[in-house]
Structure 1
Amino acid sequence: METTVYLARRIRTLDPERPEAQALAVRRGRLVAVGAEKDVREAAGNEARVVDLGAAVVVPGLVDAHAHLGGLGKSLTVARLEGTRSVAEVLERLGAAPATSFQGDWLMGKGWDQNGWPGGAFPGRSELDARFPTTPVYLTRVDHHAAWVNGEALRRAGITRDTPDPAGGRILRDAKGEPTGVLVDNAMDAVAGVVPPPTDEQLQVRLSAALERCAQVGLTGVHDAGMDLRTFRLLQTWDMLGRLPVRVYAMADGQGEERHEYLERGPYSGRLLEMKAVKLLLDGALGSRGAAMHAPYSDAPGETGLLLMAPEELSARVHAFMARGFQVGVHAIGDRANTLVVDTLIAAAKATGTEALRHRVEHAQILRPEDIEKLGAAKLVASVQPTHATSDMGWAEARLGPERLLGAYAWESLRRAGAVLALGSDFPIENPDVLAGLYAARTRQDAAGRPEGGWRPEERLTAERALEGFTGGPAWASFAEERRGRLAVGRDADFTALSVDPVEDEARALVDARVVATVVDGREVYRAP
């Protein structure tokens, strides 16, 4: 088996016994030498292949601890509405949508955000009806917690003025009681349920595109937060055939009926694909005011958000999956949702004797101070997304008010309380670019450097802790800390080469940095042209 030696300007190992090196050697997917170039060359032997990465800085493989491969693949192929500045611009993009935007005869799009439009109000069906009177249209909001549909879509789903709001969902209505075309959280299901599923070919194209994109942005692994059974089976086949370019730590989708089959199957471990966790959703998103809050929204006094399942149902599902040996991760955005999730995970772990399964709070976005302390004391994983803060900072205080903002996107407070930080992006809600995540974690600023000094800068992470959050944190959260997260002899050969030093260089350098190479299991899955 061939041995490959990689040379670089600097190798940040995150191994306290040897923090830096100049070379490493790879054989059969493992690191066989790490250290000075002379020593590594000698250990590798004269027949070793040598790859010189020049001025690049190598770090342990970067991992996104909360993402959605299926959603990314879809977002790369349907009508893309991110960054639109008006309803008119949305209609313009839909009119130019590629053929891949259709599932059956349904026009699909994603990424709209009314907060960036004049007035910030939710859109309505009338604009879509005028342009698409007979083609059903289904457009998911940037956070995937609301959908904007036209009249034909409502007709096919059987939604009328007499349709009641489902539990955990809202059908927005006009002054006359007619559905406006915006559906929030569980109300989306009625329309989504009549959209034809993607064909096998569409699914394969989408997943291939998503995995390729992950490798391009320097990710050696992804924690997929809520995978459907069809996608899981396809990835199982690809893993057995050696076709996965990056590692996938899949969380079973614990929301729908497929959860029963996942419970029957139990945890799974393959070569680059694992499923040891389950993902549950308790509330909606802040942007659509679906996040469950203890007190009403500051900019909508009559609203407190939505619980997507009753607390009793959450407890029952958590207990069932813990008893089956699954790590449990629960989506919690609002402070009420986080209180329920933290209390439920702690109680259920104790009852089932599964404290060692490293249960997770996905997002941990808005918490009361006492819940931050409880989360940390229980050593729960805080699976947080730095770019959510920089995306939301322009309007979050309007939603929450200044007092609740103190416990929002509170990464450093969570860390100090004892939580393990596993950083991610929540792509495709945010861009999968992990360099943007490192930058946001360090600065709490947008790419233009606003606001000066950072938004609530006391919650910034140091450069070392930000890097640890995308390496060692996800490794620990996926029970892989003995194999990944550091570069040392005997560990998996997963590493990312960058054009900048993410620790020593100024944070601003990350904005224009690029990925030089991505290596997974000893295989070079991406090299910059």
Structure 2
Amino acid sequence: MRNNILLVFIATLLFSCSEKEQADFIFINGQVYQVNEGFEKAEAFAIRNNKFIAVGSEKDILNNFKSDSTIDLAGAAVYPGFIDGHAHFYRYSLGLQDVDLTGTQSFNEVVQRLQKHAEKYPEDNWLFGRGWDQNDWENKEFPDKDTLDILFPNKVIMLHRVDAHAVLTNSKGLQTAGINANTKIAGGEVVMKNGEASGVLIDNAIDALSEKIPEASLEKKQELLQQGQKNCFSVGITSLADAGLDRKQVELMDGMQKNGSLKMRTYAMISPTEANMNYYFGKGHYKTDFMHVRSFKIYGDGALGSRGASLLHPYSDMPETKGFLLSEVNTFDSLAKIIMAKNFQMNTHCIGDSSNRVITDIYAKYLKGKNDKRWRIEHAQVVTSADINKFGSYNILPSVQPTHATSDMYWAEDRLGEQRIKTAYAYQDLLKQNGMLILGSDFPVEDINPLYGFHAAIARQDEENYPEGGFQPENALTREQALKGMTIWAAFGQFEENEKGSIEKDKLADFVILDQDIMEIPYEKIRATKVMETWVGGKKVYENK
């Protein structure tokens, strides 16, 4: 009798084992933030092919699944792959060969870095740099071309300000662009000094020089895009919105994604050139697992730091200007009309309260109340109390960059004054309109690390944990809100909330493992948190060794 019972038990056990589903990977013993509807935590999950096939308790996963690769997370924190809701990946990647001018404390330091680079690459006819910010210098006035003319008379110098809305060039660059003291450019400015072009070009004035840049080789572009991807994976970014691409750039990345050399999921916002519009309006939406095209990126105005943001009233620290829109109002209206007719998403860069008012009024005209078009305002930096309700009334999505607030806080009140600063970087006020915020970095304007943005969102402090108590702390986000902003809400802003942005069954297996739990640790430890592993589609793409 006992032998019979033993045989039945063994048979049952064998039958039970044979009924387990095969998984490619099983992860156990973790603190898994699902970012699902209930914002639940799980202990384990299973992956097959490129998707999560189950998420839950360790017991349930092990009872129902088997795998040759079962990974013990040893209590580590796991999150959905981070989504940068607004970045410039292509521009960042190709800029990796430029001189890094971020953090320079004076124009002399800018010059020293340029000289060092020029000595290393003496054969280059163009010298590019990015990241300078005169607001960080003792002399906060714009620099000029005089020193560059002396040191680099035969090279074209093109140095992008940190916000990319201003460029410093030399006389060789001005000649190459065909710019002189008499040049007038709509939606842009050639900054003058002593009756001649100083070398600083703002917003649309930059285009005349940009059009003359020699094109990099295909091999160099591919190499730099792969390096940019590697950098993103190392900080946990698995997906991003690339704001302002041309068809050729999209097709280059799409081809690399198809051959497996590029694994960064990309939501492409297309630049509204005539050629781009004719092609994509004719083609319609384009979607693969890695490339999604269904939106256009419009520039409403410039940046606050270079006083190109369009304000309703003059700048407090320069009363002779209010900034400017980059196009005529009827141009924005025409774009909205055709984008609506062709069922694409309109995503407009708006910094100043004037541009936010103009564009949200145009949006209201075509959206006509509640809708699911998901049109976005990128940055939404200064929005008056009278205009903010339009975000909710017309389901306009605000896409914000928390590190902009902590980068600008030292001088933003100088630009805006005591009253207007109260309606700037007002994330809680914006969040209340639709119950969500899309978070991004705007890299390379800011650092690519999304944890810096997470910290800035919840602490409203810089890397030195300044100021004590946070900058305008009433608009700080909770940790849950910030995590949603860089995962599921960012996915929603890309019409992809059903396939990514959370760790749930049947969603793409994109996730990141950190060495600390950013939902629990003190604010001051967040920026030091390291990514241990990054996974895209069930494949490990980064490991911190």
TM range, normalised to the smaller chain? over 0.9
The one-letter code sitting in structure 2 at the alignment partner of 1:263 is F
Structure 1 position 88, deviation (Å)? 1.1
Alignment RMSD, CA only?
1.9
- Output the CA distance in 1 between the equivalents of 2:291 and 2:152: 41
Determine which of 36, 46, 65 is the counterpart of 1:15.
Answer: 36
Structure 1 position 327, deviation (Å)? 1.0
Conserved in 1, the CA contact under 8 Å of 2:316 and 2:416?
yes
Establish whether residue 463 from structure 1 lines up as the match of residue 483 from structure 2. no
Deviations 1:29-50 (CA, angstroms, capped at 9, x unpaired):
11112112122122222x3311
Deviations 1:129-166 (CA, angstroms, capped at 9, x unpaired):
11101111111110000000001111122212222x20
Establish whether residue 508 from structure 1 lines up as the match of residue 528 from structure 2. no
- Identify the residue that residue 24 of structure 1 maps to in structure 2: 45
Determine which of 144, 158, 167 is the counterpart of 2:186.
Answer: 167
- Identify the residue that residue 124 of structure 1 maps to in structure 2: 144
1:226-241 correspondence to structure 2 within 5 Å: 226-241=244-259
The one-letter code sitting in structure 1 at the alignment partner of 2:239 is G
1:146-225 correspondence to structure 2 within 5 Å: 146-163=166-183, 165-175=184-194, 177-225=195-243
- Output the CA distance in 2 between the equivalents of 1:354 and 1:251: 23
Establish whether residue 77 from structure 1 lines up as the match of residue 97 from structure 2. yes
Deviations 1:174-216 (CA, angstroms, capped at 9, x unpaired):
13x2000000001111111112122222221221111111111
- Identify the residue that residue 502 of structure 2 maps to in structure 1: 486
Conserved in 2, the CA contact under 8 Å of 1:334 and 1:365?
yes
- DSSP-derived class of the 1:437 partner: helix
- Identify the residue that residue 8 of structure 2 maps to in structure 1: none
Structure 1 position 266, deviation (Å)? 2.4
The one-letter code sitting in structure 1 at the alignment partner of 2:480 is E
Structure 1 position 444, deviation (Å)? 0.5
Going from structure 1 to structure 2, the CA distance change for 1:10 and 1:126 (only over 3 Å counts) comes to same
Going from structure 1 to structure 2, the CA distance change for 1:188 and 1:157 (only over 3 Å counts) comes to same
- Identify the residue that residue 452 of structure 1 maps to in structure 2: 468
- DSSP-derived class of the 1:223 partner: strand
The one-letter code sitting in structure 1 at the alignment partner of 2:167 is A
Establish whether residue 253 from structure 1 lines up as the match of residue 271 from structure 2. yes
Establish whether residue 135 from structure 1 lines up as the match of residue 155 from structure 2. yes
1:362-511 correspondence to structure 2 within 5 Å: 362-418=378-434, 420-511=436-527
Conserved in 2, the CA contact under 8 Å of 1:33 and 1:43?
no
Structure 1 position 256, deviation (Å)? 6.5
Determine which of 78, 86, 94 is the counterpart of 1:58.
Answer: 78
Establish whether residue 40 from structure 1 lines up as the match of residue 61 from structure 2. yes
What runs of 5+ residues in structure 2 fail to find an aligned partner?
1-21
**Could you state the TM-score of these two structures normalised by the residue count of structure 2?**
0.93
What runs of 5+ residues in structure 1 fail to find an aligned partner?
none
**Could you state the TM-score of these two structures normalised by the residue count of structure 1?**
0.95
- Which protein is bigger by CA-based radius of gyration? 2
- Output the CA distance in 1 between the equivalents of 2:133 and 2:179: 23
Structure 1 position 125, deviation (Å)? 0.5
Going from structure 1 to structure 2, the CA distance change for 1:507 and 1:98 (only over 3 Å counts) comes to farther
Structure 1 position 523, deviation (Å)? 1.2
- Output the CA distance in 2 between the equivalents of 1:349 and 1:213: 38
Structure 1 position 2, deviation (Å)? 5.2
Structure 1 position 92, deviation (Å)? 0.8
- DSSP-derived class of the 1:258 partner: helix
Residue identity over aligned pairs, in percent, reads 38
Conserved in 2, the CA contact under 8 Å of 1:222 and 1:248?
yes
- DSSP-derived class of the 1:180 partner: strand
Establish whether residue 336 from structure 1 lines up as the match of residue 354 from structure 2. yes
The one-letter code sitting in structure 2 at the alignment partner of 1:355 is N
The one-letter code sitting in structure 2 at the alignment partner of 1:391 is S
Going from structure 1 to structure 2, the CA distance change for 1:294 and 1:419 (only over 3 Å counts) comes to farther
- Output the CA distance in 1 between the equivalents of 2:503 and 2:171: 55
